[in-house]
Structure 1
């Protein structure tokens, strides 16, 4: 069994180290399309609700 020593507040993200996070944030900002699952679900849900409850 692998024991991991965890130090509170100290972590390493290989995605951040490679710059993937920054690229994803830039794409999301420029296109207006979220790159996270929760963000995408929220955007789709809001669009559906607007379509249903749109006043004419």
Structure 2
């Protein structure tokens, strides 16, 4: 994710989501000019819109 952050799809405005390998987690993040800002790490079975309350 750090090497190619724009590889993963946009799920809302400028927020992208990436599944974590063999684990049932999804990382919601935003690509900034010089870094990647992680907004939430959620279990895959949780409500996908739950991260919005954390942003």
TM-score range relative to shorter protein: under 0.3
Higher strand share: 2
Larger Rg: 1
Structure number with the bigger relative contact order (C-alpha 8 A, sep ≥ 6) is 2
Taking structure 1 as the reference length, the TM-score comes to 0.23
Higher helix share: 1
